[in-house]
Chain A
C-alpha cells in the first residue's frame, strides 16, 4: 500500500508541476464558476418574480437554494466531469507506455495492484483538486443564503463517487492504449456510452429499457443530488469501480507478461 501512495504522490506531483494540469484545473474551475453564477442569478430572478406575484411570505413559502442552485450545480458538474476526467486520466498509463516507463516500472518489485491503486489514488486526488473549488462555492453560498447542508454533503458525496467511477473507466482505457490522445478519445467515448447509452433506448421495448435502466448512472447520481442517500446506489458505484479496477489490473498483468 505504501508503494501505491508513492505512485499516487508522483501522479499528483506530475499534475501540479505541469502547465497542462493547471490549465485543466483552471478550465474546470471556470466552468464550475460559470454554472454557480448563472444559477445564482436565476435564483435571484425567481425570488424576485415570486415576490412580485405576491406569493412570497418570509419563512412560509419561497424558493430553496438547494433546489435552485446546489442540486443543478452538482448535477451539471457531474455531466461536465465526462469531459474533464479523460483529460485527467489519459496520461496515467498511456504516456508511461509510450515513453517506455511502464516496462521499466513493471520490471521493478512493484505489485500490479499497487501500481493500479497508486494511479487510481493519484487520479482521485486530481479529481479532488478539481472539486476543491466547491469549497469556495459553498462558502459563498453559506454567506449569501442558508443551504441544507445534509443534502449538500450527500450530493457532493455522489459527485465524488461519480468522478471515481469515471476515473476507473479512464484508467482502464489508458492501460489499453499507447497514446494519450487515443486514451482521451476512447475514455470520452466510453463515458458518453455509459452516460447516454441507457437513456438512448427510450423508444425501445420495456424489457430493454429496464435492463439498460439498471445500469444507468446519471439517475443514480441524481438521487444523491436530491439529498437521498441510497445505499444500493453506493454499493453499485463501489461494485462498478472495483470491477473496472480489476479489469485495469488484469490488463496491466497482461502488459507485464505479454508486452
Chain B
C-alpha cells in the first residue's frame, strides 16, 4: 500500500495544480477558450487516477455494486438523502424562500407581488452582462427574487460577447443591460431597481399601450419655457406613449389618443380646438389641464359648465413650509390633499411655482363626482391681477389648487380601427400650475410621483401608483480609529494567541 501512495501522491498534486491553473486561465476567451477546460479536465483525470491508485477501497466501491446495494443503515441514509434532494428540487421550482432581513432586501414589495400575480403571459428577464461588469451580481440577485415571486417570470443570464448570435436573436443590442422580453416585445433596463423592472414587465406584456398627447401650438413648448423631456421620460417609463399634438381649427382629437394633457398654454386655444376637446371629453376622453395664473386658455366656459372654477389670480403663500423651500416668493408648498386615488398614500409634499386657485363650485353639477385633490397651507393669499391697483390681497386661507372630476358620458357607437375601447365616463384633472410637470420642477419633492399618479388615474393604469420607498437606512459605526485599533489587537492578536498558547501547553505536556 505504501508503494501505492508513493505512486499516487504526485498524480494528486499534479491534478490539483492543473485544476488551479485551469481555474486561473478560465478568463481566456476567443479561439483558445477551450484550453482552460482542457487543462481542468486533465486535472480531474489526474486526480481520479491518483485516487484510483491510492485506495483499494475505491475499487471496491466502484466495482462491487452488489455489495453497495446491500440493505442496511447506509442504504437508508442514501434513500433519505435522495428524498431530500428531490424535495430540494421541488422546493427550488416552487420557491420556499423566507426573507429574514429587517429591511426586506430579498423580497419584492406588495405592489410588485400583486402585479406579478396578475401576469397573463410569460415574461423573460435576461441579464446580459459581461463577466467583469459591476452590476452583474446585483442583476443576478434581482433575477432570483423575481423568479421566486412568479412562475410566469423566467430568468436567464448570458454573456453577450460570448454568445453574440443568441444575444442578437433575443434582441439584445448592447452589453451590460437587463432585458425584459415578452413575445416579440423587448425592452432594456439599465437601472436595476424594483420599480423600473416591475413597470417594464407591465409594459412589455401589455398589448395596448395608451397614447398620451400633450397639446402644442399655444406656447406650451416654446423657447424660454422649461422643456418636457422629464415628462416624456416619466410617461415612457410608465408604459404610456408620449405624443405632441397640434390640433388647429376644425380638427378632431385622433381616436387613438386616450388622454390629452394641456400644459400651461400662454395664448388661448382656437374655438375649433376648444370644441374638439369638448367632443373628446364627451365621448369619454381624459383631460389633464395645467393652467398658469393670469392666463386664459379659452377652456374656462366649458369647465364652468362642469362646475370647475379657475380663479386666475396669482397665489402668494407665506406659510413656513413654502418659505422653508427657499425657491422664491411664488413657490407654494403643499402637504395637504383630499381623499382621492391620485393622492391616496402620497407621502412627500409637492412644490408649485406661480400657482392659481382651482376649485369646484359649491353646488356640484348633477352626475359629476369630484373633489379637491390638493390644497395650499392656511397662509395663502390671492394677489390682485396685474394692473389692478385698487384691489388688495385676499385674507390668508387654505386655497384649493387642483381638482379631479369624473362623470358618465353617453354611450358611444363602436368604431372600427385601432382605437382602444373607451370607458363610458370622462375624467378631468385641473391643476393651478403647469411648472410642476416641466423639467425645472418635475423632480422636486413629490412632483414626479404626483404627475405619474395623475396619468395613471386618467389612463387607468394602476401600476403607475406608488411603490414603497426602498429602505436605504444604514447602521452607524459607533467607534473611531482608536477603537478599531483596539478591536484589531483583540481579535487579531489576543484571540489567536490564546489558541497558540494552548497549543504550546499541549506540546509541553506531551514532552
Contacts and interface: CB of A to CB of B under 8 A. Distances in A.
Interface of A: 16-23, 25-27, 29-30, 32-34, 36-37, 40-41, 43-44, 47, 50, 56, 58-66, 111-113, 133, 136-137, 140, 143-148, 150-151, 153-154, 175-179, 181-182, 185-186, 188-189, 192-193, 196, 200-204, 206, 214, 223, 226-233, 235-236, 238-247, 249-251, 253-255, 258
B101 A144 contact: no
B511 to A, nearest CB: 10
15 contacts: A22-B499, A26-B500, A47-B477, A63-B474, A144-B483, A145-B479, A151-B101, A176-B54, A232-B87, A232-B88, A232-B89, A236-B85, A239-B80, A241-B81, A243-B81
Interface in B404-438: none
Interface stretch (B11-19, B264-272, B280-288): B11-19
Interface string B84-108: 1101111110011111111101100
B103 A148 contact: yes
Interface string B17-57: 00110110010010001001100100010010001001101
Contact of B496 (A20, A30, A61, A239): A30
A182 to B, nearest CB: 6
Contact of B500 (A22, A214, A238, A250): A22
B74 A19 contact: no
A103 B75 CA distance: 23
B83 interface: yes
Nearest to B96: A231
Given A22-B506, A147-B475, A242 B484 contact: no
A192 B488 CA distance: 31
B44 A193 contact: yes
A256 B464 CA distance: 70
Contact of A113 (B73, B87, B96, B497): B73
B57 A192 contact: no
Contacts of A50: 474
B26 A36 contact: no
Given A37-B488, A239-B87, A250-B74, A62 B476 contact: yes
Contacts of B497: 26
A164 B88 CA distance: 17
Contact of A203 (B29, B103, B496): B29
A182 B504 contact: no
Q: Could you say which of A145, A228, A231 has the most chain B C-beta atoms within 10 Å of its C-beta?
A: A228
A228 B61 CA distance: 38
Interface stretch (B1-9, B186-194, B199-207, B365-373): B1-9
Contacts of A140: 487, 490-491
Contacts of A242: 77-78, 80-81, 84
Contacts of B74: 112-113, 246-247, 249-250, 253
Given A19-B507, A229-B97, A186 B51 contact: yes
Interface in B288-317: none
B398 interface: no
B169 interface: no
A193 B41 CA distance: 11
| Top-7 shortest CB links A-B | A62-B474, A26-B499, A239-B84, A232-B91, A242-B81, A22-B503, A243-B81
A176 B8 CA distance: 13
A206 B26 CA distance: 17
Interface residues of B, number: 94
B55 A61 contact: no
A161 B499 CA distance: 24
Contacts of A230: 91, 96-98
A200 B36 CA distance: 9
Given A140-B487, A235-B88, A240 B81 contact: yes
B67 interface: yes
A19 B58 CA distance: 32
A26 B496 contact: yes
B68 interface: yes
A148 B101 contact: yes
B224 interface: no
Nearest to A22: B503
B162 interface: yes
B474 A229 contact: no
Given A40-B484, A178-B55, A231-B96, A64 B475 contact: yes
Nearest to A229: B98
B82 interface: yes
A148 B102 contact: yes
Contacts of A56: 474
